[in-house]
Amino acid sequence: MIKRAIVVGGSISGLFAAALLRRKGWQADVFERVDVELKGRGAGIVSHPELLDILDESGAGTTDLGVHVSDRVLFDREGNVIKHRHFPQILTSWDRLQNLARRVQPEGTYHLNHNLVGFEQDANGVAVRFENGRIEKGDMLVAADGFRSIVRNILVPQVQPLYAGYVIWRSVVEEADLDPATHAAVFEKFAFFLEPGHEVVGYPIAGQNNDLRPGKRRYNFVWYRTINEKRLEDMLTDATGRMHAISIPPPLVRPDVVQEMRNKAETFMAKPLLSVLHTVKSAFFTPIYDLASPSMAFGRIALIGDAAFVGRPHVGLGVTKGAADAKALADAIASSGDDVDGGLRAFEEKRRPIGDLVVAKGRELGAFLDEKGARGHANGIDEHHQDELLRETAADSFLHQRTAREEAQDGV
Ligand SMILES: Cc1cc2nc3c(=O)[nH]c(=O)nc-3n(C[C@H](O)[C@H](O)[C@H](O)COP(=O)(O)OP(=O)(O)OC[C@H]3O[C@@H](n4cnc5c(N)ncnc54)[C@H](O)[C@@H]3O)c2cc1C
């Protein structure tokens, strides 16, 4: 009999899981809490070769994936390039990936407005309850419900996000809004600026509706900044005095918090990136957290993507990791035939070490940004560290080094 997966979470990881499981002969339905098609999350996403392979394998393809850049540069305050590294990459956007993976879901298999509120499982399968009263039964539940996963919270409530000691301000600006000098300095490059307690990164991404034409693209701007917990509580408090746990919805960030950010930038930021910030119409911040689940398989339930592990954005691997979790799950389940439990165990064995590595690498790359790190680099970010950040930010080489090591250990 055809087996059925209930996939909860209709973002990147859930879409890949459903598409790849179907290719292995499973039936898969995706249930998403939000009641309208997901779009407009706007974030720039760095792609990696593994993601391109999975896009092809899932049927989503890589057509017009994003903007090709070939170089990374590090600015000083005046905007002089003080370091340069050749590093070809395709920079895409969350919207584009969502769109590619969404359109391969067959009619009637993607269900909006389904908020999981509970589940039961036994040796034969799962029953999943949604807020609207619907109950769906299947052979496996794939929890792709993100960083705040309800499934994970029910299974392992002790696993909670750990604040990393800094926040990220994010925005996307229109290419056409950049003045010619700024455009020449920053566009078609992956640009960095480093100061004690600060990291500013910018790169081009596709424009609205995935427009890749020069002049129609956008520029992704991010600024990591050390913020102690007391100040964070204030930043997470809206104008009515309500403090939001974990993160604050962008429209509720107080104007004085945004103004302080802009004022601070004037005091130190590299001129080309400051000029980008001047064109920013709305910026929002997210506190940076680490999150690692002790397990990814719980009987007939798989946790994948951000629901299982969240590495800090420096690793630039969230989407690739979610897609690779989905692929490993589909492969393991297919290889285990009727033994779904065995397939889930094999999936966990393969992917949990990767999740741990991604979280550890994110910590390593961001260590200079927490209060202790900022104090330790009070006299400036030394050249060795600058080189390391240019080489290892949003790079997946550390995962391949692991594979090579493992193969050596196995005598391959
Ligand atoms: C600043 C920043 C920069 C980033 N840069 C990169 C980058 O360069 N490269 C990269 O690969 N990644 C990057 N990421 C990470 C990337 O965006 C995430 O890793 C990725 O979106 C995770 O996908 P996901 O499907 O696992 O979870 P999510 O995208 O969080 O999706 C979870 C989905 O589940 C739904 N859901 C939640 N609860 C329920 C429920 N109870 N019932 C039904 N549905 C539910 C949600 O509505 C949501 O649609 C970045 C993240 C940040 C914050």
Sheet holding 140-143, edge to edge: 110-111, 27-31, 4-8, 140-143, 301-303, 297-298
* Residue 370 DSSP label: S
Q: To which H or E segment does residue 138 belong? A: strand 135-138
Ligand 1 contact via 8 beta carbon (within 6 Å): yes
Tell me the CA–centroid distance for residue 98 and ligand 1, in Å.
10
Determine whether the shortest distance from the Cβ of 318 to ligand 1 is under 6 A: yes
Task: Indicate the pTM of the whole model.
Answer: 0.92
Burial class (CB in 10 A: 0-12, 13-18, 19+), 334: middle
Please indicate whether residue 360, judged by its CB atom, sits closer than 6 Å to ligand 1: no
Query: What was the pLDDT predicted at 355?
Result: 97
- CA–centroid distance, 90 to ligand 1, in Å, is 19
Please check whether the domain covering 67-90+163-288 is classified as CATH 3.30.9.60. Answer: yes
pLDDT, one tens digit per residue, over 142-173 is 999 999 999 999 999 999 999 999 999 999 99
DSSP letters spanning 233-290: HHHTB-TTSPBPSS---GGGS-HHHHHHHHHHHHHH--HHHHHHHHT-S--EEEEEEE
Residue 361 confidence class, pLDDT cut points 50, 70, 90: very high
**CATH code linked to domain 4-63+95-160+290-411:** 3.50.50.60
Compute how many other C-beta atoms are within 10 angstroms of the C-beta atom of residue 401. 11
Predicted confidence (pLDDT) per residue in 201-230, tens digit: 999 998 888 888 999 999 999 999 999 999
Per the model's pLDDT, the better-predicted residue between 104 and 64 turns out to be 104
Residue 96 banded pLDDT, cuts 50, 70, 90: confident
Q: 17 CB under 6 A from ligand 1?
A: no
Mean pLDDT of 282-292: 94
- Given a cut of 80, whether residue 408 has pLDDT beyond it is no
Provide the Cα torsion 160, 166, 168, 169; round to 10°: 130
Q: Would you list the domain boundaries of the chain?
A: 4-63+95-160+290-411, 67-90+163-288
